[in-house]
Structure 1
């Protein structure tokens, strides 16, 4: 189905590509998105003040694919500021953020576009589409796939109460999500500028505005990890624990009290908030800085001060019980557990 057969001429999806000095990777990303030769999609590359050839390369694609690829140039505002710029210009029924050093599976793209086109003809298109994502770690032959088939049936319209319980390694990060643009507008989604790890906020803050979702059991998003200097590299995350703390605070503020949303949504948001609290706590511990040990205690105290009910539910999860093992033995166990988990999954 092409754009001319739909009720209007807006794209079925807008892909937003935040790009800062990504000239060495952008070809792979853009070529994957253009692989289906579809006319009913929009690709917005946001050049976030790059000093390399990112803008030139993006402009070349804009010239070769008029009406599909569009370049936005702005002064550097960070990943969140680039996503904001893309959202402000997006015209698609759906929106997906694709980082410039990542890519999508070309066969899977065809399936995703087909399902979105079907939704575009519906009087009640789903608010969110979930797909699998793959850790494409450099130098690793076996790639870890995060799927959700144990949590929700594929290719069906669902609400939050249809979802099962998520495992410890199952959470819907930005790379798994496609939002209906209207949902992001109603949620007034606006990410903080010059802040790392805002993908946590993007995949969390809009959730109370999602009433229907669909899971597609396909390995769509390819998450490139293991690159030197990448924001998710362990040493880099340790050096930016202040950013993790800021993001954690914003997620806590975005968390509804029990009873304000459906039980299924609340249960998932507690699960995801618990994971973020654990991730932040882990990197505070990995820093081996006594001040950060105090910051970890403050994180949990602030959660309690914000909402005793939410704090109780987060602390009751297994991961949070483990992360709060006391003293030096607890910190040693956390560092060992992190090394084992990283070796198994390859997320950094």
Structure 2
């Protein structure tokens, strides 16, 4: 018999599911199975489960015919489990390395029916704090019954910190109930029924504190379900232990603590329902208070317990206000004179800020769309494609671009624009109905009600982004994750190029936006272009007909000084031989603003770093050499050879963090040394059958939505308010 069944309900966790599954499957201990219940998840979670099940027989996927909720999903997983023990793991958390082996050894050493393990709280900001029961777990006897050591009731009442003998659950006939707070009956039920309980004072679970999407951060009246679950918990405990009366004081104290925690949490009970919730607390208090009393805690918490028992809601409110005010006063004293330390803003900045604030009070221009790309560099990328399509499909919407002063002279004729930092810019920023950008707007930009912010992004991600960078600080140039999330909170729509990107952004930017998984608008041109477009670009660059063009475009490395050469381009061009032209394009971080129409050529090397439209270069090139740049995903639309030059892959993966192993799933040949790169071209392998097979797999995963209609799909949804199937 398998020792352990990991039962995992799965619903809308696409941004976290891979990490959870990997944390189990990568353990050194292997005597386990994963029973994953795809609870009719509307995102890509089900596809991820199928992917893992196809490559690892330890993963079993169970699917109910419709969404049943987390409680019933656990029941279904339990019905399909075959292990001696069951561990209900939430799919947005993950296990620490070595935890399965430690659990197995502790179970074998104690003969426990229930094992309670430690955990860490992992916050979206990157902060990690020890679980609240670390000290308690360390102090517990090696094994005990609930009546022998009732302090165990103070451990967090969730199912994911407990490993339970399956036979015990079957003997109890235990079934999770529906709704929120379903863990209560499970926790105290198995404690009451177990002959032996043991603890493992080791951090086995990383308990993710989600920024959004968790029940604990959802405001609503569903939190009233706590009262029914506590009533049921008392019944379950009484059913499974003869010591229920002796345990009542400990259980009661925990119940009141739980009620207070829910009520005082600012993101749970709605303000209009707080008095009614408090009344229900008092009713349940009086219904279950032990005849002989219970150990009332000291301090402010003890005062709250007594006020609940008395039903004194107004006094309860006043007391909490007093405590908050006292804490606020202490913080102010510690804070000092922060504003004075910042220094005064210069007069012009103050005037512009005041002007912007005034413009925010004026009516929104319902027909104005403000566009920007790459920190005000001009008309390009996804915003550029949306702008062009919107002129055709939504001609009543006037498009205006934001450009920095150095780029203004290079703006195409006839394209309206404002210069960043001017009054015209602040007026447009304050009053535009639509704000469309491939990067975030500045921190001080205000998201007005009634406006629509569209984040188009500017690449399919290989490297970790957003909150995922927290584990790879060498690659995080902006470590202010809270500020990053505040900027992302302004998004109404997030445009993604494929399922991979949708899943990545879901975890990297856990905010409340609608995902438009429609392909990348900037790739529409690549999908629809004919050979004449590439020929025109070649002529513009002075490339003779018949010459073979190779585009070399490396990505940025945060840990290297700007300008650090990554390859001897002159030598590589020479190795390519006569009849070849090498186009070299530096990352835009290393290109000075202003652009230009000159593209210097030395022999058969042309520097196209300042070329304004990268899609032109794709169309001109017969093949691409890159390393870890998102260019590979766009160039893949053309179905032309790609070579990955990855001499520092291990360093890049460790320092920058990646979403998948590029060397295992490349878009073509992978060269890890310069000699390999040269050989890929001189031997012709770069365009051979092996390369073509890898490219086909890559395109099927990342380029399948790039059919030429992405920009139209964005315009139809955002500006015309149409959904799939609607007619314009």
**Cα deviation, residue 94, structure 1:** 1.0
Give matches, 1:173-184, under 5 Å.
173-184=158-169
- 2:14 aligned to 16, 19, 23, which one? 23
**Cα deviation, residue 21, structure 1:** 1.8
Corresponding residue for 2:125? 139
Give matches, 1:1-348, under 5 Å.
10-66=1-57, 68-74=58-64, 75-116=66-107, 118=108, 125-150=111-136, 153=139, 156-163=142-149, 165=151, 170-193=155-178, 195-233=179-217, 236-256=218-238, 260-261=242-243, 266=248, 268-282=250-264, 287-289=270-272, 292-305=274-287, 307=288, 309=290, 313=293, 316=296, 319=301, 321-325=303-307, 326-334=312-320
Partner SS for 1:304: helix
Instruction: State the TM-score, normalizing by the size of structure 2.
Output: 0.40
Contact kept in structure 2, 1:29 and 1:100, CA below 8 Å: yes
Aligned equivalents of 2:162 and 2:261: distance in 1? 20
Partner SS for 1:92: coil
| 1:102-141 C-alpha deviation (Å, 9 max, x unpaired) | 001013333123333x25xx8xx31110111111111042
**Cα deviation, residue 256, structure 1:** 2.8
Aligned equivalents of 1:324 and 1:265: distance in 2? 20
Larger radius of gyration: 2
**Cα deviation, residue 14, structure 1:** 0.8
Corresponding residue for 1:346? none
Corresponding residue for 1:344? none
| 1:20-56 C-alpha deviation (Å, 9 max, x unpaired) | 1222211000100111254310111000011122122
**Cα deviation, residue 332, structure 1:** 4.5
Aligned equivalents of 1:274 and 1:13: distance in 2? 34
**Cα deviation, residue 282, structure 1:** 3.8
| 1:190-241 C-alpha deviation (Å, 9 max, x unpaired) | 1223x122122321222210121111110011110132121111xx144422
Aligned equivalents of 1:106 and 1:42: distance in 2? 17
From the superposition, tell whether residues 25 and 71 of structure 1 become closer, same or farther in structure 2 (CA, over 3 Å).
same
Aligned equivalents of 2:30 and 2:12: distance in 1? 28
Partner SS for 2:271: coil
Q: Which runs of 5+ in 2 are unaligned?
A: 328-728
Aligned equivalents of 1:11 and 1:268: distance in 2? 36
Partner SS for 1:17: strand
Q: Which runs of 5+ in 1 are unaligned?
A: 1-9, 341-348
The Cα RMSD (Å) is 3.3
Structure with greater contact order relative to length (CA < 8 Å, sep ≥ 6): 1
Partner SS for 2:135: coil
Aligned equivalents of 2:133 and 2:290: distance in 1? 30
